Amino acid sequence: MPVPVIAVFDIGKTNKKLLLLNEQYHIVFEQQTCMQETTDDTGDPCEDLLLLMRNMQQQLAAVLAMENFEVRALNISAYGASLVYVDAAGVPAGPLYNYLKPYPQELSNRFYAAYGGRESFSHQTASPALGSLNSGLQLYRIQHCQPSLFSRTRYSLHLPQFLSYLFSGQPVSEMTSIGCHTGLWDFTRQQYHAWVAQEGWLDKLPPIAPTTQTTPVQIQQHPLRIGVGIHDSSAALVPYLLQFREPFVLLSTGTWCISMNPFNHEPLTTTALQEDCLCYVRYDGLPVKASRLFAGQAHETAVQQIAAFFNEDPQHFKALPYDPQITTLLAQSPEFSILEMSRYENSAIAYHHLIMMLVRQQQYATRLVLGHTTVKRLFVDGGFARNNIYMQLLAAAFPEMDVYAATVSQASAMGAALVIHDSWNTQPVPADLVQLKHYA
């Protein structure tokens, strides 16, 4: 008997994965692809959209042909802040511009002058002024700087929804994509911000569909339900929201360390916006207060330099045990500095000091999203959750909370599967989606 599964494409900036999950949410098949970027019409690096589309269609065709699996549904988890401009024939009308593409300063000034100033606009849309990372401003740039592309655009779709449309043929908008620092959504009035209508865009943004919606299709004689796609950061929260009823904060660690509090519904303050806080939106439409810290990247850079100075393998630090005597010794020291390695007796002391600095910064960033909520649990997933020194120091930095290292296999992909559970899975949602290890 073939195993009933859901197929999920988990599309990151560097890694693209196709996963098959069974009804117990165990991964039974995984394929990973790394793709070279291409360049857009002005020579800036960008995703090779046509190659991505072709790869995904070929990969889905291959798993549908496997006799040991019965693929019942498909959903997409993908990075946000990226728009695909689709023409009347339903194909991309231009490149998939990178959200790191430099934004014209004069156009940015004109935009904020027209719509109430940076501070007020950022408050209403829960979006710090981030240039191209505010995807609404990408469409504004197309309209004002590339009128021929704008006029060819029938629909503007966020990347997760475009990749869903590739298989469903149904153009829709979806809240986790609209709500991730796009500048499009008015969080106080719970609708598109007035500027979207003033620019005449409402017909270029397809109707908003629930994140749980699916469309029935036939692909290669296989009946499938296609989900509408979900923003990957919001997808990663879903297993936690379904398993834990008590309030929690999730610290998702990678290149960026993102603290997400799904239980803080207080409006963002000016200070919080200036400190790089923003709101995401949960799959059920409620806001999620979030703060970001570029700590994973800082850690990688510093580890290479510590290893080079002490002539050691950078991998050595992964298994380094926590030594409380070292942290006591360093408690009164000035800040960790890559430029002053000679003041450390050995690499273990230098590495402990690096982690102490990162945890101090993380403590500040995470407290920004706690607000007045009575959250008592902090879950940490990703790379730092496997770092014993980091976890011990983080637990000490939050003595009033229970701090846990959390393990979820492929959280974004699992979240994308879970939001359409009812359309493909005959079993109840398992109670053990997330594994926890407590740090006292």
CA distance 258 to 264: 15
Q: What is the pLDDT along the chain (440 residues), one digit of tens a residue?
A: 999 999 999 999 888 999 999 999 999 999 999 999 999 999 999 999 999 999 999 999 999 999 999 999 999 999 999 999 999 999 999 999 999 999 999 999 999 999 999 999 999 999 999 999 999 999 999 999 999 999 999 999 999 999 999 999 999 999 999 999 999 999 989 999 999 999 999 999 999 999 999 999 999 999 999 999 999 989 999 999 999 999 999 999 887 899 999 999 888 888 888 888 998 899 998 889 999 898 998 999 999 999 999 999 999 999 999 999 999 999 888 888 887 899 999 999 999 999 999 999 999 999 999 988 889 999 999 889 999 999 999 999 999 999 999 999 899 999 999 999 999 999 999 999 999 999 98
Domains of the chain: 3-228 (3.30.420.40), 233-440 (3.30.420.40)
pLDDT at 272: 87
Query: pLDDT, tens digit, for every residue of 284-338?
Result: 988 899 998 989 989 999 999 999 999 999 999 999 999 999 999 998 888 888 8
* Secondary structure, 3-state, the chain: CCEEEEEEEEECCCEEEEEEEECCCCEEEEEEEECCCEECCCCCEEECHHHHHHHHHHHHHHHHCCCCEEEEEEEEEECCCCEEEECCCCCECCCECCCCCCCCHHHHHHHHHHCCCHHHHHHHHCCCCCHHHCHHHHHHHHHHHCHHHHHHCCEEEEHHHHHHHHHHCCCCECHHHHCCCCCCEECCCCEECHHHHHCCCCCCCCCECCCCCEEEEEECCEEEEEECCEEHHHHHHHHHHHHCCCCCEEEEECCCEEEEECCCCCCCCHHHHHCCEEEEECCCCCEEEEEEECHHHHHHHHHHHHHHHCCCCHHHHHHCCCCHHHHHHHCCCCCCCHHHHHHCCCHHHHHHHHHHHHHHHHHHHHHHHHCCCCCCEEEEEEHHHHCHHHHHHHHHHCCCCEEEEEECCCHHHHHHHHCCHHHCCCCCCCCCCCEEEEEC
What integer pLDDT is reported at residue 333 of this predicted model?
A: 87
pLDDT of residue 199: 95
Residue listed under structure tokens 């569909």: 209
C-alpha torsion angle, residues 71, 76, 77, 83 (rounded to 10): 170
pLDDT value, residue 332: 87
CA distance 16 to 11: 5
Residue count of the chain, please give it.
Answer: 440
Q: What's the predicted TM-score (pTM) here?
A: 0.90
Predicted pLDDT of residue 4: 98
Q: For the chain, how long is the longest CA-to-CA vector?
A: 69
CA atoms 164, 170, 171, 177: torsion sign: negative
**How far is residue 4's CA from residue 70's CA, in Å, rounded to a whole number?**
5
Q: Which residues contact 50 (CB under 8 A, 6 or more apart)?
A: 92
| pLDDT for the residue 321 | 96
Contacts for 381 with CB less than 8 Å, ≥ 6 apart: 236, 250, 251, 252, 253, 405, 406, 407, 408, 411
Q: Which of 382, 405, 373, 383 is nearest to 392 (CA)?
A: 405
CA 183/CA 426 separation, integer angstroms: 39
